[in-house]
Chain A
Amino acid sequence: MSNDQNHSVWDRFLPIINRRDFILTTLATGVMALLPRTVSSQSAQPYRIGVLLPTTGSGANYSERPIKGLPLIAAEINKRGGLSGKHPIELYFRDTQTKPDVGAREARSLILNEKVKTIIGTWSSAVAMAVQEVTHEHKVLHLAATSNSSKIVHENYTPYSFLFGPDSRMQSNATVVAIAKMIKAKGWKTYVTLGLDYEWGRDAQKVFVTSLGQTSPETKLTKEFWAKLGETDFTSYISAIMGLKPDFMFGAIAGKDNETFLQQAKASGLFKRIVYPGVFLPVTELMQQRKTLPRGIVGLARCPFFAHMDNPMMQQYVKLYQDKFGKADYPDDFACMYFDALNALDQAAAKAKSIDTETLRKALTGATINTCRGRLAIRDCNNQLDAPSYVGEVVDVPQYPFPIFDPKTLLVIKGDEVWLPSCEEVRKLQKKRS
Chain B
Amino acid sequence: MPDIGSLFIQLFSGLSRAMMLFLLSSGLSLIFGVMNILNFAHATLWLVSAYLTYSFFQFFSSFWGTEPWVLIPAITLATGIMFVFGMVIERFLIRRMYPRELPEQLLLTFALILILGDLIKLIWGVENRRIILPIEPMEVMGSFVNPYFFVIIASGCLIALGLWWFLHRTKYGKIVRAAVYNRDMVSALGIRIPAIYAGVFGLGVGLASLTAGVFLPIMPLSLGIDMDLIIQCFAVVVIGGFGSILGTFIASLIVGIIYSFSILIWPDGALAVIFIILVTVLIWRPWGLFGTEMRY
Binding site for B on A (CB under 8 A): 1-5, 7, 11-13, 15-16, 55-58, 60-61, 63-64, 98, 223-226, 228, 230-233, 235-240, 242-244, 256, 259-260, 263-264, 266-270, 272-273, 288, 291-292
Which residue in chain A gives the minimum CB-CB distance to B21?
A233
Q: Mark B97-135, 1 if CB is under 8 A from A, else 0.
A: 000000000000000000001000111111111111001
**Contact (Cβ within 8 A) A11 B228:** no
A240–B266 alpha-carbon span in the complex (Å): 11
B155 close to chain A: CB less than 8 A: no
A224 near B267 with CB under 8 A, answer yes
- Complex Cα distance, B229 from A27, in Å, reads 41
Q: Give CA–CA (A157, B151) in the complex, Å.
A: 50
Q: How far is the CB of A225 from chain B (nearest CB, A)?
A: 5
A55 touches B121 (CB 8 A): yes
Q: Which of B14, B20, B121, B229 is A56 in contact with, Cβ under 8 Å?
A: B121
User: Across the interface, do A242 and B9 meet the contact criterion of CB distance under 8 Å?
Assistant: yes
For B127, give its contact among A237, A264, A267, A288 (CB under 8 Å). Answer: A288
Check: B222 CB closer than 8 A to any chain A CB.
Answer: yes
CB distance A56 to B125 under 8 Å? no
Measured CB to CB, the closest approach of chain B to A375, in angstroms, equals 33
A-B contact pairs, 14 of them (CB 8 A): A2-B130, A3-B132, A4-B129, A55-B223, A56-B121, A61-B128, A63-B126, A236-B14, A239-B145, A239-B260, A244-B2, A259-B220, A267-B137, A267-B148
Q: Is the CB of A267 within 8 A of B218?
A: yes
Q: Are A269 and B144 in contact (CB under 8 A)?
A: yes
- The answer to whether B271 and A237 have CB atoms under 8 Å apart is no
Closest A residue to B58 by CB, please name it: A2
What residues of A have a CB within 8 angstroms of the CB of B267 in the complex?
A: 223-226, 237, 240
| Cα distance A242–B141 in the bound complex, in angstroms | 12
Contact A57 B223 (CB under 8 A): yes
Chain B, residues 1-29, CB within 8 Å of chain A (1/0): the string is 01100110110111011001000000000
**Are B10 and A239 in contact, CB atoms less than 8 angstroms apart?**
yes
Provide the residues of chain A in CB contact with B20, threshold 8 Å.
233
Please pick, from A7, A226, A231, A269, the residue contacting B137 in the complex, using a CB distance under 8 A: A269
Chain B contact residues: helix, strand, loop or mixed: helix
| Interface contact B149-A235, CB-CB below 8 Å | yes
B36 contacts chain A at the CB level, 8 A cutoff: no
Which residue from chain A places its CB closest to the CB of B264 in the assembled complex?
A: A240
Q: Is the CB of B220 within 8 A of A260?
A: yes
What is the number of contacts between chain A and chain B, taking CB atoms within 8 Å?
164
For B57, the chain A residues whose CB sits under 8 A away are 2
A13-B137 contact, Cβ under 8 Å, with A223-B267, A288-B127 = no
Cross-chain contact A231 with B228 (CB below 8 angstroms): yes
Known: A61-B222, A64-B125. A243 touches B228 (CB 8 A): no
Residue of B nearest to A235 (CB): B13
A256 to B122: give the CA distance in the assembly, Å.
Answer: 19
- B146 interfacial contact with A, CB 8 Å: yes
CB distance from B21 to the nearest CB of A (A): 9
Are A264 and B132 neighbours in the complex by a CB distance under 8 Å? Answer: no
Partner of A263, one of B143, B220, B263, B268: B220
Q: Which of B232-261 contact A (CB under 8 A)?
A: 259-260
Measured in the bound complex, the distance between the Cα atoms of B12 and A134 in whole Å is 48
With an 8 A cutoff between CB atoms, is B158 at the interface? no
Q: Give the distance in Å from the alpha carbon of A5 to the alpha carbon of B129 in the complex.
A: 10
- Known A236-B13, A238-B13, A240-B267; contact A267-B135, beta-carbon cutoff 8 A: yes
Is B76 part of the contact surface with A, judged by Cβ < 8 Å? no
Contact residues in A for B125 (Cβ distance below 8 Å):
7, 11-12, 64
Chain B residues near A224 (CB-CB < 8 A): 267-268
Give the Cβ gap from B18 to chain A, nearest Cβ, in Å: 11
Complex Cα spacing A230 to B45, Å? 18
Name the residue of chain B whose CB is nearest to the CB of A13: B122
The closest CB in chain A to the CB of B12 belongs to A239
Given A4-B127, A238-B13, A256-B128, A269:B145 Cβ within 8 A = yes
A239 touching B13, Cβ below 8 Å: yes
Q: How far is the CA of A102 from the CA of B80 in the complex (A)?
A: 37
Does the CB pair B122–A16 fall under 8 Å? yes
Given known A15-B121, A98-B224, A235-B149, contact A243–B6 (CB-CB < 8 A) = yes
How far in angstroms is the closest Cβ of chain A from B180?
31
B14 engages A64 (CB within 8 Å)? no
B225 within 8 A of A: yes
Instruction: Verify B9–A243 contact, CB threshold 8 A.
Output: yes
Pick the residue among B3, B17, B58, B271 that contacts A228 (CB under 8 A).
Answer: B271
Q: Does B201 contact A (CB under 8 A)?
A: no
A264→B128 CA distance, assembly (Å): 15
Nearest-Cβ distance from residue A101 to partner chain B, whole angstroms: 15
Is there contact, CB below 8 Å, between B127 and A61? yes
What's the Cα separation between A7 and B123 when bound, in Å? 11
Choose from B124, B126, B136, B144 the contact partner of A273 (Cβ within 8 Å): B144
Q: Nearest chain A CB to B147's CB is how many angstroms away?
A: 8
Picked from A15, A56, A242, A264, the residue with its CB within 8 Å of the CB of B224 is: A56
Q: How far is the CA of A231 from the CA of B227 in the complex (A)?
A: 11
Closest to A57 in B: B224
Chain A residue at minimum C-beta to C-beta distance from B227: A230
- Chain B residues within 8 Å of A236, by CB: 10, 13-14, 17, 259-260, 263-264, 270
Chain A residues contacting B218 (CB-CB under 8 Å) are 263-264, 267
Q: Please determine whether A2 and B129 come into contact, CB atoms closer than 8 angstroms.
A: yes
Task: Return B174 CB to nearest CB of chain A, in Å.
Answer: 36
Given contacts A1-B132, A226-B267, A242-B144, contact A256 B13 (CB under 8 A): no
Inter-chain CA distance A201–B270, complex, in Å, is 17
Q: Using CB atoms, name the residue of chain B closest to A291.
A: B132
Report if B219 contacts A (CB, 8 A). yes
- Are A239 and B129 in contact, CB atoms less than 8 angstroms apart? no
User: Is the Cβ of A268 less than 8 Å from the Cβ of B145?
Assistant: yes
Which B residues lie within 8 Å of A233 (CB)? Answer: 17, 20, 219
Alpha-carbon gap, A267 to B3, bound state (A): 22
